[in-house]
Amino acid sequence: MSDIFIIVLLLFQLFHHGFAEDTDAMMKARTETLRLEKLKYSIYRTPSDDHQNCRVSHLFDVLSGLFIWNAHAYTLVPLVIEHMMKPVGPSFPRVDVDLPTAEMSQAKLEFGWEALDFTALLSQRMPQIPGREAVTALKQEYWQEMRKRANDAMFGPFPAIEYSSVRMEDWASYNIAV
């Protein structure tokens, strides 16, 4: 009886990878695709690049239809990815950017930053699109989280200072002693 149980556990182990929504390997591959597409749009293009100009003008039409109170990073990034990356790869997932947290994987953090950077790059070509500042601000938050993780990986986390709510601290004496 225990043999059957062990065999069943071994068989279920084969299907374990199917339960993950997005693995880190999938996120890294999508990040690379996003980087390549961003590189195509970041280098100078001639006016004869009709396909690229057509996609950007279509995106401009979509984004200029947004109301001012609905134009923020959480709306702009999914629209940019949907209209610019879906034609490149139809299997490209829907992107939802959130505030960066410590629980995010490194691959998801990099993917979110690349999506925000791609959106910021394309919004530079469209100065009258509302919400560009929100994309830049969220991109900076992602960048700060990535810098913090790189710093923690190289030098270790900074020690947290415990503040006592009961007694008053004499910070001037501490500074003189140091």
CA distances (Å), origin 177, targets 99, 160, 163, 170, 172 = 40, 20, 18, 11, 9
CA dist 139 and 110 (Å) reads: 11
Output the pTM of the full model: 0.70
The pLDDT score that the predictor gives to residue 141 is 93
**pLDDT per position as a tens digit, 103-156:** 888 999 999 999 999 988 888 877 777 778 888 999 999 999 999 988 888 887
Flag whether pLDDT at 42 surpasses 70.
yes
Q: Do the Cβ atoms of 145 and 164 come closer than 8 Å? A: no
CA dist 38 and 117 (Å) reads: 8
The pLDDT score that the predictor gives to residue 127 is 73
**pLDDT per position as a tens digit, 52-88:** 777 777 777 777 777 666 667 788 888 888 888 877 7
Q: Is 98 exposed, middle or buried (0-12, 13-18, 19+ CB in 10 A)?
A: exposed
The DSSP secondary structure of 91-136, one letter per residue, reads TPPP-------TTS-HHHHHHHHHHHHHHHHHHHT-TT-TTHHHHH
